[in-house]
Amino acid sequence: MSDLLPTDSIVPEHVAVIMDGNGRWARERGKARHSGHRAGVKSVRATVEHAALRGIQHLTLFAFSSENWSRPAAEVGALMALFVEALRREVAELHRNNVRLEFVGNRASLGAALIRKIEASEARTADNDGLHLIIAIAYGGRWDIAGAARKLAKRAVDGDIHVDDIDEQMLGKDMQFAGVPDPDLLIRTGGEQRISNFLLWNLAYAELWFCDTLWPDFDETEFDRALDFFARRQRRFGQTGDQQEVAEC
C-alpha cells in the first residue's frame, strides 16, 4: 500500500527547518556569503508568520550548527553580529504577535552580547502562548545526546539513579528539547538530502521534505508544498498500513 493519502487539513504540530543555501544564493549573485545570510532573514520572517497562520504549534529553525564554527572567521563573526541585530529588530514584533521564543544549543560558546540578547528575548516572550519558536544555535545532535548521557552518568555515579533504570524516556528528559513534541516534519532547503547532525534523537519518525529552493527564496508557496506533502503521508510509527487504517476508523 502507498504511504500517500488524500490531502486533508492535517497540519504538523512541530516543524523543523534546516535553512540551507544562503551562501550559494549570494555566490550566484556575485555577492559575499554574509549577504546571503542577511537575505535569509526575510525568509525566516515569512516562515514564522506562515507557521502561525497555518496553526503550527512549534517551529524549530536550525540557525547555526556546532560544526559551523569551522567556517571562515569573518563569516562566523558576521553571522553572530546578524543574530544580535535580528534579535534587536525582531523580538518586539514577535512579542506583539504572541510568539514565545526559545533558544537551544551550547550557549557557553557564544559571545556575551548575544547571550544577553537571547536571555532578554526569552524572558520578554516567556508568557506568550502562541507559536513556540525555537532557534537552534551552536547546536549539534551528537552534542545534545552526549550531554544528556553525561548528566545521567553523573546521577548514576552519585547514586541518585541505578544504571539499569536508564531508558529512552529518562535520556530524553535530559536533552535540549525535553518537554517539546518531536518534529512531525523536517524541511531542508538548498537541495541537499541529509540531516547534518540536526535533532538526531528527535527526528526518529519525522517526515522529511527536501527542496532545491535556496533559503532566501523559500516562501509561503514552498512551505505549503511541504505541508501538503505531510498531509498526504500515512504515519505508521512501526505499525502496518492496515493497523493505521483501523485506528483511524
Contacts of 11 (CB under 8 A, 6+ apart): 54, 55, 56, 227, 230, 231
Residues 3, 8, 22, 68: which is the catalytic one?
68
Q: Which helix (H) or strand (E) holds 184?
A: none
Contacts of 21 (CB under 8 A, 6+ apart): 36, 189, 190, 191, 213, 214, 215, 216, 217
Residues 3, 8, 20, 127: which is the catalytic one?
20
Amino acid at 36: G
C-alpha to C-alpha distance for 182 and 194, rounded to whole angstroms: 18
Residue 3 catalytic? no
Residue 20 catalytic? yes
DSSP 13-82: SEEEEE---HHHHHHHTT--HHHHHHHHHHHHHHHHHHHHHTT-SEEEEEEEEGGGGGS-HHHHHHHHHH
DSSP tag of 208: E
Q: Which amino acids are annotated catalytic?
A: 20, 68
